[in-house]
Structure 1
Amino acid sequence: MKCYDCLQEARSDAEGIGVCSQCGLATCENHARIRQVQVSRSVGLGPFRGYMARKLVCHACDLAGSTP
Structure 2
Amino acid sequence: MRCYDCLQEARSDTDGIGVCSRCGLATCENHARIRQVHVARQVAMGASHSRLPARRVVCHTCDAAETTH
Unaligned 5+ segments in structure 2 are: none
Taking structure 2 as the reference length, the TM-score comes to 0.86
Tell me the residue number matched to 1:64.
65
5 Å matches for 1:18-57? 18-43=18-43, 45=44, 47-51=46-50, 52-57=53-58
CA distance in 2, matches of 1:59, 1:14: 15
Q: Deviations over 1:15-44 (max 9, x none)?
A: 00110000000000000000001111022x
CA distance in 2, matches of 1:46, 1:40: 13
CA distance in 2, matches of 1:28, 1:65: 19
Task: Provide the secondary structure at the position in 2 that maps to 1:65.
Answer: helix
Q: How many residues align?
A: 65
CA RMSD of aligned residues (A): 1.3
**Moved >6 Å (runs of 4+):** none
CA distance in 1, matches of 2:46, 2:22: 29
Q: Which amino acid aligns with 1:37?
A: V
Could you tell me the percent identity over the aligned residues? 68
CA distance in 1, matches of 2:32, 2:62: 10
Taking structure 1 as the reference length, the TM-score comes to 0.87
CA distance in 1, matches of 2:42, 2:64: 32
